[in-house]
Amino acid sequence: MGVTSHDSIPSLPASLLTGQKALVTGANSGIGRATAIKMGQVGADVVVNYVEDEEAAKEVVSEIEDFGGRAYAHRADVANEDEVVTMLEAMVDRFQTIDILVANAGIQRDAPFENMTISEWQRVLDVNLTGQFLCAREAIKEFVRRGVVPGTSNSAGKIICISSVHQLIPWAGRANYTVSKSGVQMLMETLAQEFSSRKIRVNAVAPGAIRTPMNRPAWETPEAEASLVEMIPYGRVGDPEEIATAAALLASDLLDYVVGTTLYVDGGMKLFPEFLHGG
Ligand code: NAP
In-domain check, residue 253 = yes
Give the residue numbers annotated as catalytic, written as ranges. 177
Q: How many domains does the chain have?
A: 1
In-domain check, residue 184 = yes
Identify which of 125, 58, 106 has the alpha carbon closest to the alpha carbon of residue 214.
106
Query: Can you tell me the mean pLDDT for 127-149?
Result: 99
CA of residue 52 to ligand 1 center, whole Å: 11
The pLDDT tens digits for 210-225 are: 999 999 999 999 999 9
The pLDDT tens digits for 163-208 are: 999 999 999 999 999 999 999 999 999 999 999 999 999 999 999 9
Amino acid 275: pLDDT: 87
Strand pairing partners for 48? 24, 73
Strand pairing partners for 22? 46, 100
In-domain check, residue 3 = no
Other Cβ atoms within 10 Å of 95 Cβ, number = 20
Measure CA of the first residue to CA of the last residue in the chain; give whole Å. Answer: 25
Ligand 1, closest atom to CA 240?
26
| Amino acid in position 264 | Y
- Per-chain mean pLDDT for the chain: 96
Q: Which pTM was predicted?
A: 0.97
The pLDDT tens digits for 92-122 are: 999 999 999 999 999 999 999 999 999 999 9
In-domain check, residue 137 = yes
* pLDDT of 4 over the 60 cut: no
Amino acid 161: pLDDT: 99
Calculate helix-pair angle for 175-195, 131-146, nearest 10 degrees. Answer: 10
Task: Give residue ranges with CB within 6 A of ligand 1.
Answer: 25-26, 28-32, 49-53, 77-79, 104-107, 127, 162, 164, 207, 209-210, 212-215
In-domain check, residue 13 = no
Confidence of residue 3 (pLDDT cuts 50, 70, 90): very low
State the residue range of the domain holding 97: 21-275
In-domain check, residue 109 = yes
- Cα separation, 246 vs 31, whole angstroms: 11
In-domain check, residue 14 = no
Confidence of residue 2 (pLDDT cuts 50, 70, 90): very low
- Provide the CATH number for the domain around residue 203: 3.40.50.720
In-domain check, residue 2 = no
CB within 8 Å of 257: residues ≥ 6 apart:
none
Distance of CA 127 to the CA centre of its chain: 13
CA of residue 197 to ligand 1 center, whole Å: 31
In percent, how much of the chain has pLDDT > 90? Answer: 94
Strand pairing partners for 186? none
CB within 8 Å of 145: residues ≥ 6 apart:
none
Amino acid 8: pLDDT: 78
Confidence of residue 159 (pLDDT cuts 50, 70, 90): very high
CA of residue 82 to ligand 1 center, whole Å: 21
Amino acid 277: pLDDT: 84
